[in-house]
Amino acid sequence: MQTLSIKRFGFAIASASIVSYLGCVFVMMTVPKDVAIRFFNSLMHGVDVTTIMRWDMPIGETVLGAVGVFVLGWLFGAMIACCYNCCGSEKKGEGVGSRE
């Protein structure tokens, strides 16, 4: 069984998370409010986000949120890789590409 690099997998998940976060920021900045609400309602499977949407988000909070999402993404990715490496043992000869 191959092992995953904890740091690299954590960075990959963190990078994907930050792209998603910045995508949300981009949507909020570029579309009208009613379109953004409809978009995020559809992502939330019908939960109405109208009352919890903030339209006056300062840039400092946005940057802090991006940093937080990156850190949490890295931690979750590292945890997934660690669990995969520790708990996913296979018996010799049963792995991918074995010829037995």
pLDDT tens figures, 36-67? 899 888 988 878 888 888 888 899 999 999 99
Instruction: Name the token pair of 45.
Output: 């499977």
What is residue 91's DSSP assignment? -
> Residues 14-44: pLDDT tens digits?
999 999 999 988 988 899 999 989 988 898 8
Instruction: Name the token pair of 42.
Output: 């559809």
Q: Which of 13, 15, 43 is nearest to 28 (CA)?
A: 43
What pTM was computed for the model? 0.75
How far apart CA 76 and CA 23 sit, in angstroms, is 20
Instruction: Name the token pair of 67.
Output: 């940093």
Confidence of residue 88 (pLDDT cuts 50, 70, 90): low
